[in-house]
Structure 1
């Protein structure tokens, strides 16, 4: 067995005007099929995390976002890869959500967020996000 590769991935806690967070369900053909995740994607060469996130959200959901705040990253080891997940609180600026890769999406209040079957790497980020809300 070779060493697992670490990939840097961004994700967005996209918040709407009612402070609900967008959750996206992975399609049945993606890795971690039908798990829920915070949308985002892999950082490409010479791309900042912020540039990556804006691009990925446009590609995956066809909406424009504005990044508000970076949260603490979470590194998670899956059986075949290590993901360094870099989260940003963002707001939906324009566009209507059109799913390009995902099976479904939901807008969730903070007290509903942890009810879904999330991809493991996203769970600590959700807890951290909820803790920041409670600290206000």
Structure 2
């Protein structure tokens, strides 16, 4: 099972969603940014590293939300979400093709990767 972290980055009341490129698995689906946990790395270290690599942002992690286990046709994923805020940097997409800053109420209007849907729904219950 793949262990993958993701960041629900909140800034000025808006939430960051990124769109997978056409070259990635699940092309053009929306997701919270993050990536695969490497050996010897904590969940927090992984997420901070991945956001720096993918978005050129330094983030501070807040609350951890419940993990989601999802089985895709050819792999199984454990998605580990954290709510986060930007500390510094300027958003630059290294891998994704697009991004949106959205109010919470608009999040479910996007075509999310299946594993991210329960994360979105759990986040909508939070007070952030």
Q: Give me the TM-score of the superposition, normalised by structure 2.
A: 0.98
Equivalent-residue separation in structure 2 for 1:50 and 1:76 (angstroms): 21
Runs of 4+ in 1 over 6 A off after TM superposition: none
C-alpha deviations, 1:42-72, integer Å up to 9, x for none?
Answer: 0000000000000000000001000011000
Gaps of 5+ in 2: none
Does residue 124 (structure 1) correspond to residue 118 (structure 2)? The answer is yes
Aligned residue pairs, count: 128
Q: How does 1:89-104 map to 2 (within 5 A)?
A: 89-104=83-98
1:75 aligned to 2:69? yes
RMSD of Structure 2 on Structure 1 (CA): 0.9
CA distance in structure 2 between the aligned counterparts of 1:26 and 1:35, rounded to whole angstroms? 6
Alignment partner, residue 114 of structure 1: 108
Question: What does the per-residue CA deviation read over 1:73-105, in whole Å, with 9 as the maximum and x for residues that have no partner?
Answer: 000000010000000000011111010000000
Equivalent position of 2:82 in the other structure: 88
The residue that corresponds to 1:15 in the other structure is 10
Whole-Å separation in 1 of the counterparts to 2:63 and 2:85? 10
Counterpart CA distance in 1 for 2:20 and 2:89 is 21
Greater strand proportion: 2
Unmatched segments (≥5 aa) in structure 1: 1-5
